Chains A and B, each alone.
Chain A
Amino acid sequence: EPEVTQTPSHQVTQMGQEVILRCVPISNHLYFYWYRQILGQKVEFLVSFYNNEISEKSEIFDDQFSVERPDGSNFTLKIRSTKLEDSAMYFCASRETDRVGSSGNTIYFGEGSWLTVV
């Protein structure tokens, strides 16, 4: 079964360092997302990406964050200068279609990247 893959599974970084989290969405999917989940809290939307541009971003997604689809398969999240409060599980997700009621409307999540900022 096709799946969203993410690397690394776990990264420890020093405060102020840049981090890039990588994702390979499901191959025929067109809509891509990053979510995060701080330990013990709910899953929060960060950004959505379609047709090579950001379609929506949350208040969390400030100037320290950026996303890129550098080629036909990868989707990356960059945090320029990490803060302690960026420590969380980051989930990449993808969706095939925007047709409400279609099974292709389902958002599928990768296994996540644990980011620990020390």
Chain B
Amino acid sequence: QKEVEQNSGPLSVPEGAIASLNCTYSDRGSQSFFWYRQYSGKSPELIMSIYSNGDKEDGRFTAQLNKASQYVSLLIRDSQPSDSATYLCAVMRGSNYKLTFGKGTLLTVNP
């Protein structure tokens, strides 16, 4: 069974700190990787996508992918209280195009 694993947290960081979120996946055929943010009772909102090994930066967010280690991470710099949410890692296998989600990591940024 194809799995996506995340530390459920909660991860608590002070305002202004770097938050580091991690994800591992079991399907070596995965080709597309996504980080979504989900506020309580709301829908997943795309933060970043990454397809190639290495880093991808977008504003305060950096996604890192290591396909050999089957590992994806998300760094949030200068964390703000508004970043407090559950962060969902999701992977997509090229052949079937559905997303498989992890359970999510709850991040709390303390003012």
Q: Is there contact, CB below 8 Å, between A111 and B32?
A: no
Contact with B along A83-116 (1 / 0, CB 8 A): 0000001010001001011010111111110000
* B102–A42 CB distance below 8 A: yes
Number of A-B contacts (CB under 8 A): 60
Is the C-beta of A75 less than 8 angstroms from some C-beta in chain B? no
CB A110 to nearest CB in B, in angstroms, measures 6
Contact across chains for B34 and A106 when beta carbons are under 8 A apart: yes
**In the complex, what distance in Å separates the CA atom of A117 from the CA atom of B11?**
33
Which residues from chain B sit less than 8 Å from chain A, CB to CB? 31-32, 34, 36, 41-46, 49, 51-52, 88, 90, 92, 94, 96-104
User: Could you jot down 16 A-B contacts, CB within 8 Å?
Assistant: A43-B90, A43-B99, A89-B41, A91-B44, A100-B32, A101-B32, A101-B51, A105-B32, A105-B92, A105-B97, A107-B92, A107-B99, A108-B46, A109-B45, A110-B43, A112-B42
Q: A residues bordering B, Cβ < 8 Å?
A: 31, 33, 35, 41-45, 48, 55-56, 89, 91, 95, 98, 100-101, 103, 105-112
